[in-house]
Amino acid sequence: MPRKNRRESGTEVYHIIVRGNNKEKIFEKNSDKITFMNILKKGQIYYPTEMYAYCIMINHVHIMLKAGYDVLPRFMQRINSTYAEYYNARYDRTGHVFQGRYYSDCVETEEYYWCCLRYIHNNPVKINLVTRPFDYGFSSASEYYSETRELIDEASYHMLKTRFHNIEDFWGFHRQFEQKSFLDTVEDERIHNSERVRILVEKYMFENQIEDVQTVLTIGKIKESFLMECKDATGLSERKIENILKTECKGV
């Protein structure tokens, strides 16, 4: 079956996720994460992009950036192939490093932009690597906190200052994520709900050493346990949570 064409973002802003092949750990050492950051930095020299957020976890990476529709695949191909070459050489291995094509989602509203940025920054918090997003050294949260210019673009600082009065408001915004819905439209609320469920199911799978979201959907006691936990955290109905798992969280 031929691959579907990726949808082009009307704002040229995309949320990108790349994962280790078979969900393997491909950034286990800090030096691996630093190498990937350096590869991103060099990639920005060759391809015109604006980086707004990123987070390098043990087996996957989140990136939110602005890039032309024709530029994005060439940028990501360079990033992934360069890191794969490094990784295979360092660990004396062969074969695929990343799991298939990178995932991309269009970021076309201001509210989804902030929802996405917060979701990316909260990744290490959700699995208890750190207690505050800016304490994690391999994400843009630490750049926003210190205002160092490593990877994120100057435009991202400008956007932050147009929405938040000060840096304390910005970090307070990060803590709101699972406490209430702040979105204004039905579509934004759908996206917000999907992201909340995605975060909770990833955390649940990590804590219970579950490899596939289908396990959460099909094993009776596991499904019942997660639905109850997610319902308490989000206020969503069990049917809505289950529908989100089936349609929005296939790639978890």
Tens place of pLDDT per residue across the chain (252 aa): 345 567 889 999 999 989 898 878 999 899 999 999 999 999 999 999 999 999 999 999 999 999 999 999 999 999 999 999 999 999 998 889 998 778 888 888 888 898 889 989 988 988 888 989 999 999 999 999 887 788 999 888 888 888 898 888 998 888 875 443 333 345 556 767 787 788 788 888 888 888 888 889 888 899 999 999 888 877 889 999 998 888 877 655
Contacts of 181 (CB under 8 A, 6+ apart): 189, 192, 193
235's torsion region: left (phi>0), alpha (psi -120 to 50) or beta? Answer: left
User: CB under 8 Å, gap of 24 or more: what pairs does 180-185 form?
Assistant: 182/111, 183/111, 183/115, 184/111, 185/109, 185/111
Structure tokens at 228: 């109850």
* Distance between first and last Cα of the chain: 22
Give the pairing type, strands 49-56 and 13-19: unpaired
- The full DSSP string for the chain is -PPPPPPPPTTSEEEEEEEBGGG--S--SHHHHHHHHHHHHHHHHHS-EEEEEEEE-SSEEEEEEEE-TTHHHHHHHHHHHHHHHHHHHHTT--S--B-SSPEEEE--SHHHHHHHHHHHHTHHHHTTS-SSGGG-TTBHHHHHHHT--SSS-HHHHHHHHHH-SSHHHHHHHHHTTTT-----SHHHHHHHHHHHHHHHHHHHHHHTT---HHHHHHSHHHHHHHHHHHHHHH---HHHHHHHHHHH-TT-
What Å distances lie between residue 245 and 48, 101, 200, 218, 251, CA to CA?
A: 35, 21, 11, 11, 10
For residue 2, the model assigns a pLDDT of 46
CA angle 10, 199, 133 (to 5 degrees): 85
The tens digit of pLDDT for each residue in 83-99 reads 999 999 999 988 899 98
For residue 185, the model assigns a pLDDT of 43
